[in-house]
Structure 1
Amino acid sequence: MNRRRPTLLAALTLTAAAALTLSACGSDDKPASDNDKIAGADTGTEPSKSPSESAPAEPDRPKIELPTDVTYEFEWDKTGDPVKDAVLHDAEQRIRAVDLAIAEQNALHEAYRFYSEGEAAAGSQKYIQEFIDHKARTTGVTRYYQEDLNVKDDGTASLVYCEDQSKAFNKFIETGKTDVKDVSPDSYVLYASTLRKNEKGVWVTERLVSERGSAKCQP
């Protein structure tokens, strides 16, 4: 789940947990190495429950309070299907949680780890750490649109969506300076994610790949 921040550092051109790249012919992801895994990150090998099974009690979700200058426009449609709407809700919360970890400069923040596991959690840790190393955070408005959601009978889901970073930027914490960049095709990013309903009943993101400048997402 990203701001307009392509020049802070090469690694910061990726969005939350997007440590892999989506190629033109499909995802080119590979299993994360042991060094890519964070403590406590679920590898997703445990059998998942079917969405049709009775949902467990609502878990205690982390509180996400972002700086007032970090805002979003989620244009994802409510489907009326409780399972699909739950997937979209938890995917949205993961995006917010990563920005919270960046704002609080905590690469092991409990919030994003609540909504992501395995490769996605490991990728988020690296991504957040880059901001910490440069004493920077996100600012501005990020728009999410053109979602395509498919929920499977095995308790997993695939979510593809676009992100508009044209009004979102890097902000350096010590100086308060905002790194404003011109809008370009690279301001628009395509994401493909895999989610799984865990034992708590939360749709956690297990894998996330991206393609910056995707023709699918251009205005």
Structure 2
Amino acid sequence: MYRIRVLPAAVSLTAAAALLLTGCGGDDKGKDEDKIEGAGGETKSSAPASPSASGEAPKFDRPKITLPSDVQIDFEEPKLSDPQQAAALGDAQNFIRAIRYGIVKQDPDESAYKFYSDFQSQAQQYAKEQIKARVDAGLTISGEQRYFRTKVIPTKSAKSVVINFCSDSSKYYSKEVKTEKVRRTKPSAEDFAFWEIAMSPSEGKKGLWRAAGVKVTDPSRECRA
């Protein structure tokens, strides 16, 4: 399997405390960007707005995220009764989509992931490093990546939450930008990773949640079981 490894950035004390609530270890090795695939026509798909406490979409503009038609990011949608938890989950999903968008755009400074992450946070650094590693290697993405076993875990302060995902990248491949050659690999246990994303509400935009810290355990026995 062809891999790009990115060393983990130092997690802030606030984000680290939140992530420790999950009780899971492991290193962030950039597993989520290990593979990609073909090109195709582009479909314009804005990132979905997260619900507000009233159930209505917040009244601010969100970045539009456009992915090639052959890039598919699927999220399991658990039923959440708490609208704030639902909003945090929605924007954690948007943060992941925004990283993929930055790779497609081949721009480590693309604004979408910055919108969905705290300024100069470990999460923002993580996103930039993931995109830059792809750009430097001359790679983009295509294929299907699936996120499942989703959990939303409030922190003790109740001001932030930790979003847990499992991801399956067995149909997610690397693609060379210049030649458009798809680097297909056989499915393996290493296709599964466990995600922890610390999310906090934006102070300036009511209804928006932003990523503060990210931790990815790769590969994950828990997720492939």
Alignment TM class, shorter chain as reference: 0.7 to 0.9
Asked if the contact 2:109–2:128 (Cα under 8 Å) also holds between the matched residues in 1, the reply is: yes
**Which of 23, 26, 35 is residue 24 of structure 2 equivalent to?**
26
Distance across 2 between alignment mates of 1:78 and 1:102 = 30
Asked if the contact 1:190–1:210 (Cα under 8 Å) also holds between the matched residues in 2, the reply is: yes
Q: Mapping of 1:147-158 within 5 angstroms?
A: 147-152=150-155, 153-158=157-162
TM-score using structure 2 length: 0.74
Structure 2, unmatched stretches of 5+, are 12-18, 28-51
SS of equivalent residue, structure 2 residue 196: strand
Equivalent position of 2:217 in the other structure:
211
Distance across 1 between alignment mates of 2:9 and 2:179 = 28
Equivalent position of 2:122 in the other structure:
119
Equivalent position of 1:189 in the other structure:
193
SS of equivalent residue, structure 2 residue 91: helix
SS of equivalent residue, structure 1 residue 26: coil
Pair 1:170–1:28, CA change in 2 (3 A)? closer
SS of equivalent residue, structure 2 residue 180: coil
SS of equivalent residue, structure 1 residue 77: coil
Asked if the contact 2:26–2:217 (Cα under 8 Å) also holds between the matched residues in 1, the reply is: no
Deviations 1:121-165 (A, max 9, x none): 011111110111112111101100001112345420111110000
Equivalent position of 1:133 in the other structure:
136
Detail structure 1 runs of 4+ shifted over 2 Å in the superposition.
8-11, 18-29, 55-59, 151-154
Equivalent position of 1:63 in the other structure:
64
Asked if the contact 1:19–1:209 (Cα under 8 Å) also holds between the matched residues in 2, the reply is: no
Deviation at 1:173, TM superposition (A): 1.1
TM-score using structure 1 length: 0.76
Equivalent position of 1:98 in the other structure:
99
Deviation at 1:65, TM superposition (A): 1.0
Deviation at 1:116, TM superposition (A): 1.1
How many residues of Structure 1 are paired with residues of Structure 2 in the alignment? 187
Q: Percent identity?
A: 27
Structure 1, unmatched stretches of 5+, are 1-5, 30-50
Deviation at 1:188, TM superposition (A): 0.3
Distance across 1 between alignment mates of 2:151 and 2:199 = 13
Q: Which amino acid aligns with 1:128?
A: I
